[in-house]
Structure 1
Amino acid sequence: MDTNSPAPQVWPTLRATDARALIRFLVEAFGFEEVVTYGEGELVAHAELAWPEGGGVMLGSVREAPEGDEAWPGRPGTFSAYVVTADPDGVHDRAVAAGARITTGLTETDYGSRDFAAADPEGNRWYFGTYSGAPRPSAAPEG
């Protein structure tokens, strides 16, 4: 990998009918950090929210696609994400205190994770837990 290239990342993206309210909710209820928001008035052209433990999401207001462009495929309320956290109980308590609708309470999974799920005001589903994924396969030796 070129050392001048950015580190590989995946940034899930979503659209919202009231993006500014959704940003406030995700910050207050779950603990995301607002990094940047571009747009005027109620329109959010682009926003980035960082997850304190790594990664993040991008979002913007739902709007018509410019002529000649395909429409944005994601509709408000159709997004879901699993967010890895070392403190699901703390995130759960914060979400409850902020009025989030908990859709699945704190539970221990068969695979050793502690999880819960909540819906945001747009209807998107957020899953939080300690499961950070299966170990990645080792890179094949060069031959």
Structure 2
Amino acid sequence: MTTESVPPPQVWPTLRATDARALIRFLVDAFGFEVTVVYGSDDRVDHAELAWPPGGGIMLGSVRPGDGDAWPLAPGTFGAYVVTDRPDELCARAAAAGAEVLREPYDTGHGSREFAVRDPEGNLWSFGTYRGEARVSGGAAG
């Protein structure tokens, strides 16, 4: 029996949180992210990786004011679009977990079904069925 492994993402959106451990629990419960790894002790999270089951992931950690933070992102300033095949179900799940629903599921003019929420740290999340346009092989890099 063989086990296929999914390669890790090559682009990692990142964010900081006032209470990173609580945000990790929220992202797992509300959206269905899966914890890959969490490093840190007590309330502090030095580094965490959360996988999005269909592919991709995010990194996050505790905000570190006055700590010489080399990545000084302010909590609540993150925004992301995440692909899902079940936006209506996911919106209901997110709302039940305490997400602030900013926009109920709706159909866009480009054929996607989407919704938008805010997490407890203030970050904005948009979920929808739009997967982006196909890339042309051999295209020039910008």
TM-score (norm 1): 0.86
Q: CA deviation at 1:8?
A: 6.1
Q: Which amino acid aligns with 1:79?
A: F
Query: Residues of 2 paired with 1:134 and 1:79: CA distance?
Result: 23
Say which SS state the counterpart of residue 59 (structure 1) adopts.
Answer: strand
- Alignment length (residue pairs): 133
Query: Residues of 2 paired with 1:76 and 1:66: CA distance?
Result: 15
Question: Looking at CA atoms only, which structure, 1 or 2, has the larger radius of gyration?
Answer: 1
- Check whether the contact 2:102–2:117 (CA below 8 A) recurs between aligned residues: yes
Aligned in 2, Cα 1:65/1:139: closer, same or farther, shift over 3 Å? farther
Aligned Cα root-mean-square deviation (Å): 1.7
Q: Give the gaps of 5 or more residues in structure 1.
A: 1-5
1:25-69 per-position Cα deviation (integer Å, ceiling 9, x unaligned): 0000111111110000000000011111110100000004655xx
Match of 1:92 in 2: 91
- Check whether the contact 1:47–1:59 (CA below 8 A) recurs between aligned residues: yes
Match of 1:76 in 2: 75
- Check whether the contact 1:65–1:71 (CA below 8 A) recurs between aligned residues: no
Q: CA deviation at 1:20?
A: 0.4
Percent identical pairs in the alignment equals: 64
Aligned in 2, Cα 1:66/1:99: closer, same or farther, shift over 3 Å? closer
TM-score (norm 2): 0.87
